[in-house]
A = this chain, B = another copy of it.
Amino acid sequence: MGLKEKKRIVLIGAGNLATHLGHALNSAGHQVVQVYSRTKKSATELATKLNALPVTSLNKLPEADIYIIAVKDDAIAQVCKSIKTNGIVIHTSGSTGIDVIKRCSPNAGVLYPLQTFSKKRTLDFSKVPLCVEATNHKTERELLLLARGLSENVTVVDSEKRKTLHLAAVFACNFSNHMFAVAETILKKDKLPFSLLIPLIEETTAKIKSGSPEKMQTGPAARQDVTIMKKHLKMLGKDKQLQQLYSLVSKNIIKNKA
């Protein structure tokens, strides 16, 4: 990376996403100058790793090229009240429109990484799909340049489509994980280890790389095997909520096959 593209960045937030993003920015040759968090401990923890200054007040932010707001969705608006700059200001939320941060700068934008982050897990950031949006063309160009330095997978996505992506991600990630959790609960009652299901789950995920999940659908509901579905509902007997879940998901699968 040439010296011209090296950006001075203020990172607002020190959570899972901010941590992964901070390291990716550092690796790409940018300089994270400050890390803000409400708590001294979190700010210091991340700032130390990024060779940046930890701060717990938004009142004394330094001059920077880019301000990245990576806090919880419902805290973005509050954070915005403390920022007024001509630099680029972006947030990283899937479910928040770009309009929320327009008051901070004439050059506002969004950089939404479509991934689930945990501080403890290492992750190849270059494979994370990054969705970019900006209030003007110059900012969009700058953000695309920044994003392409971090990931191979960069797309321009407007606020409406980003919200759609976020909703789809809830089903694909959070809700599928809940299905794994239910499976774990069912096994626990019979003292069976969850690890027995890992190869099956891995193959289920591998399959959708080679074809649409709807076409890959298998199981009792997909083949409308009423006898087995009835047996399963009976087995879940004591847990009315799980019975309801089993029925509803099966009904949806049957509807899709029709």
A245 touches B236 (CB 8 A): no
Choose one: B161, B168, B199; the contact of A129 (CB below 8 Å): B199
Report the bound CA distance from A174 to B241 in whole Å. Answer: 18
Q: Once the chains bind, are B179 and A192 in contact (CB under 8 Å)?
A: no
Which of B179, B184, B213, B249 is the one whose CB lies under 8 Å from A212? B184
**A217 in the interface, Cβ–Cβ < 8 Å?**
yes
Asked if A181 is an interface residue, CB under 8 A from chain B, the answer is: yes
Give every chain B residue within 8 A of A249 (Cβ-Cβ). Answer: 175, 178, 245
A74-B225, A205-B201 as given contacts; A232 in contact with B170, CB under 8 Å: yes
The answer to whether A204 touches B176, judged by C-beta atoms less than 8 angstroms apart, is yes
B176 touches A176 (CB 8 A): yes
CB distance from A33 to the nearest CB of B (A): 29
**Pick from B116, B200, B241, B246: contact of A204, CB under 8 Å:** B116
Taking the full assembly, how many copies of this chain does it contain? Answer: 2
Instruction: Name A179's contact: one of B115, B160, B167, B172 (CB within 8 Å).
Output: B172
Known: A173-B200, A248-B244. A217 touches B178 (CB 8 A): yes
B-chain residues with CB within 8 Å of residue A186 when the two chains form the complex: 164, 167-168, 171
Give the interface segment out of A23-31, A101-109, A250-258: A250-258
- A197 partner residues in chain B, CB cutoff 8 A: 114, 168-169, 172-173
Are A199 and B114 within 8 A (Cβ)? yes
- Flag whether A145 is at the interface (Cβ < 8 A): no
Interface size class of A (residues with CB under 8 A): 35 or more
Binding stretch for chain B, among A44-52, A56-64, A79-87, A120-128: A120-128
The verdict on A208 contacting B171 (CB below 8 Å), with A161-B192, A192-B165, A241-B255 known, is no
A171-B180, A205-B205 known, 10 other contacts, Cβ within 8 Å: A116-B200, A116-B204, A116-B207, A155-B196, A167-B186, A172-B183, A177-B204, A181-B212, A198-B208, A245-B252
Which residues of A are at the interface with B, using a C-beta cutoff of 8 A?
Answer: 72-74, 95, 114-116, 118, 121, 123, 127-129, 153, 155, 157, 160-161, 163-165, 167-187, 189-190, 192, 194, 196-205, 207-210, 212-214, 216-223, 225, 227-228, 231-232, 235-236, 241-242, 244-246, 248-249, 251-253, 255-256
25 contacts between A and B (CB under 8 A): A73-B227, A74-B225, A114-B196, A129-B199, A157-B192, A161-B192, A163-B235, A164-B189, A164-B192, A169-B200, A170-B219, A170-B220, A170-B246, A171-B179, A171-B180, A172-B197, A173-B200, A173-B201, A173-B218, A174-B217, A177-B204, A177-B216, A178-B256, A184-B212, A241-B248
